[in-house]
Chains A and B, each alone.
Chain A
Amino acid sequence: MPKDLSRRELMRRSIAAGGLFAAGSLMPVSSTLANQAPGQTAAQSETEKRVPATMAGGKVVQPRRDVPVLHKTSILVVGGGPAGTAAAFSAKRLGVDVTLVERYGYLGGLATGGLVLGIFPLYNRENKQVIFGIGEEFMKKLDVLKYGIIDRNKPPVYPTIDAEAFKFVLASMLLDSGITTYLDCWGVDAIVDGKGAVRGAVFESKSGRQAILADIVIDASGDGDIYAAAGAAFEKVKTNIGLISRIGNIDEVDMAPGRGSEDPTKPSIGRPDEGGRPSKGRVNDFSGHAGNSTPAPHVNWLNMRGPVGDALDISDLTEFELKHRIGTWGNVEKLRQKAGNEQVYLTETAPQLGVRLSRLLDGVKKLKVDEIRNGATFKDVIGYSGAYANAPAFQIPYGSLVPAKVENVLAAGRCISAEFEVADITRLIPVCWVTGQAAGLAAALCIQNNCKPRNVNVAKLQDLLHQQGAYLG
Chain B
Amino acid sequence: MMFLRRVPRRVIQLTCFVGAVVLVWPLLPWKIAPRFFQQLSPFVALSSSIAARSVGVGAILALIVAVVSSFKKRWFCLYLCPTGFLLENTSRVGLRKTRWWGKLPPVGRYVAIITLAGAVAGYPLLMWMDPLCIFSSPFAMNKATNPTSVFLVSLGLGVLVGATFVFGMAWCVRICPLSGLQDMLFYARKALWTRLSASVPNRKLVERFSGGRGFSPDVKLVKIRGASAPEGHSAAPSHISGVARRAFFASAGGALLALGARRLGAARYRKSDTLLRPPGAVPEDRFAGLCIRCNNCVHACPTKIIHPDTGREGGLAGFAAPVIRFDRDYKYCLETCDACTQVCPTGALTPLTLQQKNKYIIGEALADNNICLTALGKKECDACELACPYDAVKITWDEAQYISYPVVNDKCVGCGACEVVCPTIPIKAIRVWTQKPA
Contacts and interface: CB of A to CB of B under 8 A. Distances in A.
Interface in A400-443: 421, 424, 428
Nearest to A369: B386
Interface residues of B, number: 48
B391 to A, nearest CB: 13
Contact of A292 (B368, B375, B378): B378
A172 interface: no
Contact of A286 (B370, B381, B428, B433): B370
A304 B374 CA distance: 8
B424 interface: yes
Interface in A137-193: 156
Contacts of A388: 383
B386 A277 contact: no
B401 interface: yes
Interface string B400-413: 01111100100000
A306 B369 contact: no
A389 B421 CA distance: 6
A389 B380 CA distance: 11
A268 to B, nearest CB: 5
A284 B429 CA distance: 12
A105 interface: no
Interface stretch (A22-30, A42-50, A64-72, A324-332): A324-332
Interface string B410-438: 00000001000101111111010100101
Nearest to A389: B383
Contact of A305 (B383, B386, B397, B438): B397
Contacts of A156: 423
Contacts of A307: 397, 399
A contact patch SS? loop
B398 interface: yes
B416 to A, nearest CB: 12
B150 interface: no
B426 A291 contact: no
A217 interface: no
Contact of A308 (B273, B383, B397, B431): B397
A240 interface: yes
A285 B368 CA distance: 10
Interface in A100-150: 116, 118, 120, 125
Interface stretch (A1-9, A33-41, A259-267, A449-457): A259-267
A290 B378 contact: yes
Contacts of A467: none
B376 to A, nearest CB: 5
A305 B369 CA distance: 14
A375 to B, nearest CB: 13
Contact of B402 (A269, A275, A277, A328): A328
B163 interface: no
A283 B431 CA distance: 17
B433 A305 contact: no
B386 A258 contact: no
Interface string B350-392: 0000000000000010111111111111111111001100000
Contacts of B404: 240, 304-306
Contact of A263 (B330, B370, B372, B425): B425
B387 A390 contact: yes
A275 B425 CA distance: 11
A86 interface: no
B112 to A, nearest CB: 40
B378 A390 contact: no
Interface string A247-271: 0000000101011111110001111
Given A262-B425, A268-B426, A331 B379 contact: no
A264 B426 CA distance: 8
Interface residues of A, number: 54
Contacts of A259: 370-371, 376
A264 B417 contact: no
Given A278-B368, A286-B370, A327-B402, A303 B378 contact: yes
Given A302-B377, A390-B386, A275 B427 contact: yes
B395 interface: yes
Contact of A283 (B364, B386, B401): B401
A269 to B, nearest CB: 7
A59 interface: no
Contacts of B370: 256, 258-259, 284-286
A284 B375 contact: yes
Residue of A156, A275, A330 with most chain B CB atoms under a 10 A cut-off = A275
Given A278-B368, A286-B370, A305-B404, A390 B377 contact: no
A67 to B, nearest CB: 39
A289 B377 CA distance: 6
Contacts of B371: 258-260, 275
A261 B425 contact: yes
A305 B373 contact: no
Interface of A: 116, 118, 120, 125, 156, 240, 254, 256, 258-264, 268-280, 283-286, 289-292, 302-308, 327-328, 330-331, 388-391, 421, 424, 428
14 contacts: A120-B380, A258-B427, A269-B426, A280-B364, A283-B398, A283-B401, A289-B376, A291-B376, A292-B379, A303-B374, A303-B378, A305-B404, A306-B404, A330-B402
Interface of B: 273-274, 329-330, 364, 366-383, 386-387, 395, 397-399, 401-405, 408, 417, 421, 423-429, 431, 433, 436, 438
Given A259-B370, A284-B370, A286-B376, 19 more contacts: A118-B380, A259-B376, A260-B428, A269-B426, A270-B426, A272-B427, A275-B371, A284-B375, A289-B375, A290-B376, A305-B397, A307-B397, A307-B399, A330-B402, A331-B402, A331-B403, A389-B382, A389-B387, A389-B421
Closest 10 CB pairs of A and B: A260-B424, A284-B369, A327-B402, A389-B383, A260-B371, A305-B404, A289-B377, A390-B387, A302-B377, A275-B427
